[in-house]
Structure 1
Amino acid sequence: MVEKLRIPSNWQFTPEFMTHVVAAQHPGARVSEVSLLNGSDGTSSRALLGLKYAEGSGPGALFVKTQGDWKHRLLHVMTGNLYRESLMYGSGVAIPVEHPRPYFGGVDRLRLNDLVMMEDLSPRNVTLNDATKPLSVENVASGLRGLAKLHSKFWNFSAGDYPTLAWVEPWKATLTFRLTIRRACKIGIENHRNSLPEEMAALGGAGMEEWWTKYIRTVSQGPMTLLHGDAHVGNSYIVPGGEVGFLDWACVRKGNWAFDVGYFLAGALDVETCRANEADLVEEYRQALEVPTAEMPSREEAFLRYRTTPAYGMAVWVATGCSVNYQSSEICANLVHRYGRAFLDLDTRTALGELADSLR
């Protein structure tokens, strides 16, 4: 259950509150001491809280997130991404893909803030991924199999089946969102002109937003499933043994499966490796789906859907590149290049037209 609360400043959580959080999953645990091990601020505020126990046992530390400063909170309001991770982790619904174990989700609506407490992954010796280190083909295949499990469980998703997920909405290209993307892309193009294919830069902010909007309108067509919503490579990790998991569930939506697949696949591999393997990897995902036979996308339909997805990744990462306060320049440059390459190689503009024709 998602709880309503006032989130304390400076990570000043009491032992009593942390006992409430931990004891739900570790009965008999009583926290005696809470310490701040480290913390940082950016698009969100993050901290690692150390825990000691007077009775019982539980995790030695929990990873904690709240919204960032007011500027970032208002941005999340405009994009529709406020509260989603806390609502997801507080829903009690099991997520059938490797992810950090959730402990608490709470909302402070008056201050446009929320609180998420989850497993500290460091004791499991996971490898956190980012765009500066392309994944292997097998890593990406593992991630796609995980996404297939997620999408299969929630295929034909409805609030009637999952009442605690009734808040999940489809992606919407609202006017505010479109204007935000357009303005940010205009700046991002100038910041990353050396990483963008020339043809992409020539679109300008308005052109990138136009193709982003056309793509977003397709995401609600076809069978709806639960989407991670932000499954780029930087929100993935690898556990010992090679399984890929996903963290940062702050953009959860419902929509077409290809949204997650394309956003992960096209940004996770270097350009040449992606070119050589993307068709087979989309098929790997398709074969891992467990959905009604009549609703299984064909190989051709699946790849057509994949071809449309770079319109999203390209615009979002060019927009992200408008400021170093969101992601590092190196990460943005890699992703701008990869999604821009995919947009051209896969002829995303034609693919969106073909998809529109097939859905008539």
Structure 2
Amino acid sequence: MKQSILASRPGDLTVAWAQQVVDRHDADTAVSNVDVVAVDVGTTTRVCVAVEHDGPDSLPSRWFVKLPSLAWRAKTITALPQLLHTEVRFYNELAQSVPLNKPICLAAQSRFGWGATLVLADVAEFDGIASAASDTLTFEQAVLVVEQLAHCHARFWNSVNNDPNYRWLAGPVRVLEDFLGTVLAVPLMKRGLRQAGTLIPPVLHASAVQYARHRRSAMRFLSDAPQTLVHHDCHPGNLFWNKDRSKVGFLDWQLVRVGEGVSDVAYFLSTALSPEMRRLHEAELLAKYAQALADNGVAGVDNDLLMQRYRVHLVYAFEAMIVTLAVGGMMNLDCNLELIRRTAAAVEDLDAFSAVRIKALGGRSF
């Protein structure tokens, strides 16, 4: 029986703890020292540790450890929907079937009532370069990301709902998360709008609050489409690259779920590109996404409909960044404000709120 690797704070990451992780890979390897190199507290507590051991070079010596957040607000928001538990389950059950570059998982464990711990190889160990949340990607990088997303979405296209292996993605935890999102939508939206100040064009304020008031109906509309496996948090800070930035990988799977594939594209383009770059290239990038879906076996993608669905999904990207600001402590403030600026520009440019039909309002737009 494997020993527990559960930890709750950086001080728990001792030599004895690291030895338990190493024993899962090579029982003949001994750990001699563990140094905490860096700690970053957000939606989770992210700890970079240097581990000295006498094992083979294939066993990483720099680890990236995710623990429950030490920030009380972030911990309160993420604890009930069990976001870190979800990511642990993703790495234990789904990661190998997802055709995207991901960090090497060294250990992942969760226990209800006891927390969760995820141990990944630091991407820098293999010459990877992690992005910052506010990084601005080039057109060429954006092409790589949307094509990789299409490859992943095609793999699970219209199959996740009927496969018992993926049923948990839409199970009670996700239902609870959606419920909390709906209950808190209006106060968090109002608080976030106040805090964002002049970053949000005044023309968006009333529509944003109206959307929050009818969020449950809005979510039903946003999910009324072919379903696949989606990352659901695809901003620049959740990407990593090889040295020449010709290959991309995806981090932070704690929001993974069943949803519409183009939602990932909308979230990505509205957060990762400057408004000027997005305006210039978003139609072309959506066409490349559609072509990549077709190349991977998804037939009948209508480009005009894809653009319409892209437009409506921009509202969630905007909401996510506003809520992040309202809760506080979940993302570097400067990065958060920059992503609010970008997503607000996208929502305004494409009049996204007007594109969301709300059944509670008799089918009328905002």
State which of 61, 74, 77 in structure 2 corresponds to 1:75.
Answer: 77
**Alpha-carbon distance, 1:326 to partner:** 2.2
Moved more, 193-202 or 87-96: 87-96
| Secondary structure of the corresponding residue to residue 194 of structure 1 | helix
- Structure 2 residue 167 is the aligned partner of structure 1 residue 153: no
Task: Report what 1:307 is aligned to.
Answer: 311
**Alpha-carbon distance, 1:45 to partner:** 1.1
Cα–Cα, structure 1 residues 9 and 224, in superposed 2: closer, same or farther, change >3 Å?
A: same
Q: For 1:16 and 1:36, locate their aligned partners in 2 and report how far apart those are by CA, in whole Å.
A: 14
CA deviation profile, 1:192-232 (whole Å, cap 9, x unmatched):
1211111112336x324146544422343222211112112
Larger helix proportion of the pair: 2
Task: Report what 1:51 is aligned to.
Answer: 51
- Structure 2 residue 66 is the aligned partner of structure 1 residue 62: no
Q: For 1:43 and 1:2, locate their aligned partners in 2 and report how far apart those are by CA, in whole Å.
A: 28
Task: Report what 1:329 is aligned to.
Answer: 333
Q: For 1:159 and 1:303, locate their aligned partners in 2 and report how far apart those are by CA, in whole Å.
A: 24
State which of 165, 181, 196 in structure 1 corresponds to 2:185.
Answer: 181
- Structure 2 residue 112 is the aligned partner of structure 1 residue 109: yes
Amino acid at match of 2:155: K
Task: Report what 1:90 is aligned to.
Answer: 92
Q: For 1:184 and 1:107, locate their aligned partners in 2 and report how far apart those are by CA, in whole Å.
A: 29
Amino acid at match of 1:7: A
**Alpha-carbon distance, 1:50 to partner:** 1.9
- Structure 2 residue 264 is the aligned partner of structure 1 residue 260: yes
**Alpha-carbon distance, 1:27 to partner:** 7.3
State which of 199, 205, 208 in structure 2 corresponds to 1:201.
Answer: 205
Amino acid at match of 2:124: S
CA deviation profile, 1:126-168 (whole Å, cap 9, x unmatched):
33333533111111111111111211222223376462x4421
Task: Report what 1:130 is aligned to.
Answer: 132
Q: For 2:244 and 2:271, locate their aligned partners in 1 and report how far apart those are by CA, in whole Å.
A: 22
| Secondary structure of the corresponding residue to residue 190 of structure 2 | helix
State which of 291, 302, 317 in structure 2 corresponds to 1:287.
Answer: 291
Q: For 1:186 and 1:287, locate their aligned partners in 2 and report how far apart those are by CA, in whole Å.
A: 39
**Alpha-carbon distance, 1:323 to partner:** 4.9
Cα–Cα, structure 1 residues 39 and 194, in superposed 2: closer, same or farther, change >3 Å?
A: same
Q: For 2:271 and 2:298, locate their aligned partners in 1 and report how far apart those are by CA, in whole Å.
A: 30
Q: For 1:348 and 1:327, locate their aligned partners in 2 and report how far apart those are by CA, in whole Å.
A: 25
* 2:222–2:312 Cα contact (<8 Å) kept: no
Moved more, 278-287 or 296-305: 296-305
Task: Report what 1:31 is aligned to.
Answer: 31
Amino acid at match of 2:290: R
CA deviation profile, 1:211-257 (whole Å, cap 9, x unmatched):
65444223432222111121122212222232222211111111110
| Secondary structure of the corresponding residue to residue 145 of structure 2 | helix
Task: Report what 1:41 is aligned to.
Answer: 41
Q: For 2:16 and 2:79, locate their aligned partners in 1 and report how far apart those are by CA, in whole Å.
A: 32
| Secondary structure of the corresponding residue to residue 168 of structure 1 | helix
Amino acid at match of 1:121: V
**Alpha-carbon distance, 1:281 to partner:** 0.4
* 2:200–2:341 Cα contact (<8 Å) kept: yes
Unaligned runs of 5+ in 1: none
Task: Report what 2:223 is aligned to.
Answer: 220
Cα–Cα, structure 1 residues 131 and 50, in superposed 2: closer, same or farther, change >3 Å?
A: closer
- Per the normalisation by structure 1, the TM-score is 0.86
Q: For 1:41 and 1:146, locate their aligned partners in 2 and report how far apart those are by CA, in whole Å.
A: 29
| Secondary structure of the corresponding residue to residue 265 of structure 2 | helix
| Secondary structure of the corresponding residue to residue 156 of structure 1 | coil
Cα–Cα, structure 1 residues 240 and 6, in superposed 2: closer, same or farther, change >3 Å?
A: closer
Unaligned runs of 5+ in 2: none
Cα–Cα, structure 1 residues 124 and 68, in superposed 2: closer, same or farther, change >3 Å?
A: same
Q: For 1:19 and 1:166, locate their aligned partners in 2 and report how far apart those are by CA, in whole Å.
A: 34
Moved more, 234-243 or 310-319: 234-243
Cα–Cα, structure 1 residues 161 and 18, in superposed 2: closer, same or farther, change >3 Å?
A: farther
* 2:100–2:148 Cα contact (<8 Å) kept: yes
CA deviation profile, 1:2-28 (whole Å, cap 9, x unmatched):
997643544434556534534545575
Amino acid at match of 1:351: A
RMSD across aligned positions (CA): 3.0
Task: Report what 1:119 is aligned to.
Answer: 121
Q: For 2:263 and 2:100, locate their aligned partners in 1 and report how far apart those are by CA, in whole Å.
A: 17
Q: For 1:3 and 1:260, locate their aligned partners in 2 and report how far apart those are by CA, in whole Å.
A: 37
Task: Report what 2:7 is aligned to.
Answer: 7
* 1:38–1:49 Cα contact (<8 Å) kept: yes
| Secondary structure of the corresponding residue to residue 275 of structure 1 | helix
Q: For 2:27 and 2:156, locate their aligned partners in 1 and report how far apart those are by CA, in whole Å.
A: 30
- Structure 2 residue 194 is the aligned partner of structure 1 residue 190: yes
